[in-house]
Amino acid sequence: MTVNIAQWPKAKQEAIQHDLMASLWVHNVKIGKMSKADIEFKIRDTFNNPELQQHLRNRVDYYMHMPASGY
């Protein structure tokens, strides 16, 4: 099955991108390249929408509580 995300609605594309960002930030925390404070700074500095900021915080918390595989 082939999926072309570029054909999806813009809002869904952005939601996927935000989820990927959150998972990458958490990965960087788990390998010691970032701190949780760095993530909070990125969220506050980069995104002005309070709802999006909270969504990103929720996704970061979700990924922080997932067991690390391969570490």
Reported as a single tens digit per residue, the pLDDT across 7-50 is 999 999 999 999 999 999 999 999 999 999 999 999 999 999 99
Q: To which residue do tokens 């509580």 refer?
A: 65
pTM reported for the whole predicted model: 0.85
**Number of domain units in the chain:** 1
Average pLDDT value for residue range 2-10: 92
- Return all residues near 27 (Cβ < 8 A) that are at least 6 apart: 63
Q: Is residue 8 part of a domain?
A: no
What is the reported pLDDT for 71? 54
- Domain of residue 35: give its range: 28-64
For residue 43, being part of any structural domain is answered with yes
Residue 32 domain-assigned (yes or no): yes
Whether 58 is in a domain gets the answer: yes
pLDDT of residue 20: 96
Does residue 13 lie in a domain region?
A: no
Q: Residue 23 falls within a domain, yes or no?
A: no
Residue 51 lies in a domain: yes
Q: How far apart are CA 38 and CA 60, in angstroms?
A: 12
| Residue at 37 is within a domain | yes
Q: Tell me if 8 sits within 8 A of 15, measured CB to CB.
A: no
